[in-house]
């Protein structure tokens, strides 16, 4: 899902106060981590993911890999923290702003 600039800014503002719900350690982005992220996105729609220093994958590469495999949108990479968004398939909680 491609996000507009306005939608990205809105999601970044919503994600500012969130705590990371999934951590990626030295094993990297495994199938189990992707499944946990997918479940968290189903529950929350917008989540933060934290990459620990011993993670073998760079944050930007991890964000792209996770976004593709979890069918999500990478909203932001800030340091070693990723902000991911995927709307709920039936009952979306977050309504993105649209251009007038």
**What pLDDT digit, counting tens, does each position of 21-42 carry?**
999 999 988 999 999 999 999 9
Query: How many other CB atoms are there within 10 angstroms of residue 36's CB atom?
Result: 18
- pLDDT digit string (tens) for 7-22? 999 999 999 999 999 9
Give the chain's domains with CATH numbers: 5-85 (3.30.110.60)
In 10 A of CB 83, how many CB atoms?
Answer: 23
Question: Beta-strand (E) ranges in 1-100?
Answer: 20-24, 46-51, 73-78, 81-85
Write out the H or E segment, with its range, that includes residue 38.
helix 31-44
């Amino acid at each position: 899902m491609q996000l507009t600039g306005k939608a990205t800014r809105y999601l970044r503002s919503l994600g500012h106060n969130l705590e990371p719900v999934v951590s990626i350690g030295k094993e990297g982005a495994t199938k189990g981590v992707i499944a946990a992220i997918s479940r968290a996105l189903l529950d929350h729609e917008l989540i933060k993911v934290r990459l620990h220093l011993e993670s073998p994958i760079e944050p930007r590469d991890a964000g792209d890999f996770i976004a593709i495999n979890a069918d999500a949108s990478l909203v932001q990479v800030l340091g070693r923290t990723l902000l991911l968004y995927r709307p709920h398939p039936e009952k979306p909680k977050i309504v993105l702003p649209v251009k007038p």
